[in-house]
Amino acid sequence: MSRSYISAQDRRNGEELTIMISGLQGGEIEMFESAIGNCSWIMANEDGRIQSIPKYKPLPDPIDDEEMLPFWSKIEGKNIETRFEETLVDTSKHPHPQIIISNLCGYNYSPENYRIQARRLKDFGFEQMRSQRDSAGRFTEHWFLEYSGAAEGNLKLFIDKLGNDIKAQQRLDAIIDFLCKNVSFGSLEIAYQRAAMVIND
């Protein structure tokens, strides 16, 4: 079995230490990325291959995590029949779509800028949602506003000033314009309900 090799060169001339790694196989780069992200330790196993050791206990799978079981109301009774009913959406008249923001900071990421943008979205009423980390320690993140009526802070004040006489599409365009001018992000998506479970009559 092939081995991986690590060599280091210290120039001692005020330059940074250079480390060269060769002979890596699939998955071992992700192990290094996970270690750099402070999610694991790495070492060489008996075969000379890279081995990753997690620093933290893995999160329980949502299926097995009792703390994540659904909390919403249940209908009392037996043999309740339900169906999915599709909703035909006229986006020009839908007053309160969901707003989802991804890739906070966009191309202008820095730890300080992220804190500024995240704090701003929290003040606007957005909720942060993150996935579990992958093998390299990476995760996806979205910021979610359930509907415009859930807005808080300066975003709520802005929406209130729009009044009730404005058309739904004009209201949405104004909200998007406000967010584009006040928050740095990579993408913004609008979501509408298209199907819902209903109880059969």
CA distance 88 to 106: 33
- pLDDT for 80: 67
Lowest mean pLDDT among 71-75, 100-104, 131-135, 152-156: 71-75
pLDDT category of residue 127 using cuts at 50, 70 and 90: very high
pLDDT (tens digit per residue) in 148-193: 889 999 999 999 999 888 888 888 899 999 999 999 999 999 988 7
CA distance 176 to 47: 55
Side-by-side strand order, sheet with 127-130 = 127-130, 141-145, 98-104, 185-191
Number of DSSP helices (H) and strands (E) in the chain, helices first: 4, 10
Q: Are 25 and 49 a contacting pair, CB within 8 Å?
A: yes
> Exposure pattern of 149-170 as b/e (b: 16+ CB <10 Å)?
ebbeeebbebbeeeeeeeebee
pLDDT (tens digit per residue) in 83-105: 666 666 666 666 678 999 999 99
The vertex-41 CA angle with 37 and 47, nearest 5°, equals 130
Residue 35 pLDDT more than 70? yes
The residue among 82 and 42 whose pLDDT is bigger is 42
Q: Are 4 and 22 a contacting pair, CB within 8 Å?
A: yes
